Amino acid sequence: MKKIIEIGYKFLYLQDKIKTPKQIMHYKYCGICGKELVDHPAGDDGMVPYCEKCQMYWFDSFSSCVIIMVVNEYDEIAMLKQSYLSTEHETFVSGYIKPGENAETAAIREVNEELGLSIEHLEYAGTYWFPSKELLMLGYIGNVKKTVFHLSSEVDSASWVSIEEAESHMFPERPGNTQHKIFRRWINGKK
């Protein structure tokens, strides 16, 4: 049995016993004219909510984020403590992509906002699905010059960590954790 919470003209589906809301939005009403949508075949996508008046499909939507492993010229990795994520483990820079922004611009912005650093070179490191929050995460490796961090209020602390120590600071490896995947991609690229 699923619970449904109405949010304006959107519906958010929650599975039973889930304490945090999921991020996939399933539309029930047209966002343009407000008319109730009907299921309509959309090729290989199957039945999709459709506005007969506007002749428009309303595909489920979800948030997209960037996650950036920031590396300096000494091959040290910036590891961030963010107590709202964990008091035990450290993370890479990450954040939501804003409307009208591409992923690369979001990655550069997030590194600057969270650490006060400017990326000199940005390398794409894959796309990952983060199932617990239903987010599409676009991974990057961002090269910077080692300098003093200027932390945002979102970040409790940050430090430069050596390659050898990095994995011990990360969240445990499990499905959906992109840190280890991006780290290994970078390590394999160095060989």
Q: Which two tokens stand for residue 13?
A: 């589906």
Q: Are residues 72 and 25 in the same domain?
A: no
Q: Are residues 28 and 98 in the same domain?
A: no
Tell me the pLDDT of the chain averaged across its residues: 85
| pTM exceeding 0.85 | no
How do residues 98-134 score in pLDDT, each as one tens digit?
999 999 999 999 999 999 999 999 999 999 988 877 8
What is the Cα–Cα distance from 77 to 159, expressed in whole angstroms?
A: 8
Do 119 and 143 meet the contact criterion of CB atoms below 8 Å apart? yes
End of a domain among 57, 76, 101? 57
Domain that holds residue 43: 2-57
How do residues 132-161 score in pLDDT, each as one tens digit?
778 899 999 999 999 999 999 999 999 999
